[in-house]
Amino acid sequence: MTTNQHPVTIAIVNGIVWTGEPDKPWATAVALSDDRITAVGSTAEIRLRVSSQTKVIDARGGMVVPGFIDSHVHFLAGGMNLASVQLRDARTPSDFISRIKAFAATAPRGTWITGGDWDHENWGGDLPLRSWIDSITPDNPVWINRLDGHMALANSAAIRAAGVPMSGGDVAGGTITRDASGQPSGIFKDNAQELIDRAVPDPDPAMLDRALDAAMTYANARGVTSVDHMGTWSDLAVFERAHGAGKLRTRIYAAVPLFTWARLRDTVAARGRGDSWLRIGGLKGFVDGSLGSHTAAMMQPFTDAAGDSGLLVNTPENLYLWTSNADKANLHVIVHAIGDRAINLQLGIFERVERENGARDRRFRIEHAQHIAPPDLVRFGQLGVIPSMQPYHAIDDGRWAEKVIGPERARTTYAFRALRDTRGRLAFGSDWPVAPATPLEGIYAAVTRRTLDDKHPGGWIPEQKITVEDALRAYTSGGAYASFEEREKGSLAPGKLADVVIIDRDLTKVAPETIRDAKIDYTIVGGIQMTEMKEH
């Protein structure tokens, strides 16, 4: 309890307050003054500070936590997808086809149909073909991605519009799958996706503004108050436009492509790293693809594909040069690595760059860090490399991952517990729209490891489960640390930003398998209440 002259604008009372502060983890009430937390204490203490200007929120025994930080999203893609064809839960090819048919019937002639987020594992693993959808989409180019973004399906109209020849070679770091006659089947993987991507017209600015607005509403409803966005310079322009108009309702740390490090260096030199609503300084690179697309770079071949051990989407030489140059420019290097070979390669680059460039607070990150070779587990803690992971992927991929990597490699897959135990500083996120940006489901996933098909009631690789408090930390203080903002947010303490979420139950007390049934009652960002409690 600290006293402060500022009038209390919001007082949250009668809560189970989990502060995230190691020395004082629990309280029952929180006082906010405008955009800052001014006191954390008992309900009686906080009530003394209530004035006629205070809005009192009765948490009614619900859990009060720091606003969730989703450390890995593609915010505009997510917002765009909210308005596109929804294929994530298509369970059969015929369901997949009929949804596209229904959506195409509403789409103006000639417009591209994108998004989708399909998952062929839902129907046993047969990849979709352009022949499935050509007859129902004659007037619209279709370019719909698998939910991991590492492959996508084009119909014939899209292939024609992009001018992709019906015969010809592959693309470095990518694959064009072909039918028996050698023509593209419609599936383009990793770098081959650029062949179609470049033909897709850019969304107009008004559309992007709407996508951002939809994404913020979606995030607010799920208790997400900050995101680390993995995207492009044009995405950053959309965020800047919204920030300039005072319209941001979600805090954004906007990473741009790693190979553009020189442009970011110059931008930061010219106008700094931004403020608590919109920050820059992070660069996102890629080592490999994804497990679901068999493009994760593995040390040994996939269990279900003899001789295939995935691929690197960038050369080790480029990854080293970009990492080193970005680091010398004091920028923050964030790299996607999923397979054990990719992770090992990037850890080696980080180690080398640190040795060559000297000690500094650099907080290198590996995004996803899914399949870690056992000897590499300790290196995250030793090197101070942040494993930025998405627990929902574990219960999604856990349905089929052992088929692809076998039981032995699965033991150190999504190794939350092993990383935590070796002082790896976990940051959690969703990879939305690859997975729903729903921290409560992420916490459920990390704590139970119950796969989405409910085939592992005791948890898939149960020794890698972590506690609710561990998962909360990864979604709050872990995320704040992963973007250099732990002084501003990530816990409930006087002086920190007034980003607070109220959940309808104490997650540490309920049966773990019911965590995902919990509801977000309130989301407060910068002292502004973004969502109202609905009766339930």
Give me the least distance between CB of 89 and Zn ion, in Å please: 20
Kindly report the number of other CB atoms within 10 A of residue 73's CB atom: 27
**Contact by Cβ (8 Å): 354, 473:** no
Angle 75-79-83 from CA coordinates, rounded to 5°: 160
Give me the least distance between CB of 285 and Zn ion, in Å please: 12
Give me the least distance between CB of 78 and Zn ion, in Å please: 11
Give me the least distance between CB of 230 and Zn ion, in Å please: 5
* 276-313 burial: b if 16+ Cβ within 10 Å, else e: ebbbbbbbbbbbbbbbbbbbbbbeeebbeeeeebbbbb
Closer to Zn ion at the Cβ: 388 or 531? 388
Strands (E), 287-348: 332-337
Give me the least distance between CB of 257 and Zn ion, in Å please: 13
Closer to Zn ion at the Cβ: 117 or 431? 431
Phi, psi for 513 (deg, rounded to 5): -70, -10
Query: Which residue stretch of 406-414, 418-426, 429-437, 498-506 sits at the interface with Zn ion (rule: CB under 5 A)?
Result: 429-437
Closer to Zn ion at the Cβ: 192 or 389? 389
Closer to Zn ion at the Cβ: 340 or 431? 431
Closer to Zn ion at the Cβ: 279 or 284? 284
Residue 117 found at the interface with Zn ion (CB under 5 A): no
Nearest C-alpha neighbor of 47 from the set 74, 13, 84, 76: 13
Alpha-carbon distance of 318 to 335, in angstroms, equals 13
Question: Residues 6 or more apart from 134 whose CB is under 8 A from it?
Answer: 155, 156, 157
Closer to Zn ion at the Cβ: 103 or 392? 392
Alpha-carbon distance of 171 to 380, in angstroms, equals 33
Give me the least distance between CB of 438 and Zn ion, in Å please: 16
Alpha-carbon distance of 147 to 213, in angstroms, equals 22
Closer to Zn ion at the Cβ: 475 or 522? 475
Query: Which residue stretch of 27-35, 39-47, 105-113, 427-435 sits at the interface with Zn ion (rule: CB under 5 A)?
Result: 427-435
Nearest C-alpha neighbor of 322 from the set 346, 343, 355: 346
Strand partners, 520: 503
Kindly report the number of other CB atoms within 10 A of residue 454's CB atom: 10
Give me the least distance between CB of 178 and Zn ion, in Å please: 27
| Nearest residue to Zn ion, by Cβ distance, number only | 431
Query: Which residue stretch of 32-40, 162-170, 426-434, 499-507 sits at the interface with Zn ion (rule: CB under 5 A)?
Result: 426-434
Nearest C-alpha neighbor of 155 from the set 170, 171, 167, 138: 138
**Contact by Cβ (8 Å): 364, 333:** yes
Three-state DSSP class for residue 37: strand
Give me the least distance between CB of 72 and Zn ion, in Å please: 6
Give me the least distance between CB of 336 and Zn ion, in Å please: 7
Give me the least distance between CB of 414 and Zn ion, in Å please: 15
Closer to Zn ion at the Cβ: 121 or 431? 431
| Site mask for Zn ion (CB under 5 A), range 431-450, x = bound | x-------------------
- Class of residue 164 by CB neighbours under 10 A (exposed 0-12, middle 13-18, buried 19+): middle
Closer to Zn ion at the Cβ: 158 or 338? 338
End-to-end CA distance of the chain: 32
Query: Which residue stretch of 51-59, 103-111, 341-349, 424-432 sits at the interface with Zn ion (rule: CB under 5 A)?
Result: 424-432
Closer to Zn ion at the Cβ: 155 or 193? 193
Nearest C-alpha neighbor of 36 from the set 488, 497, 487: 497
Chain residues binding Zn ion by CB under 5 A are: 431
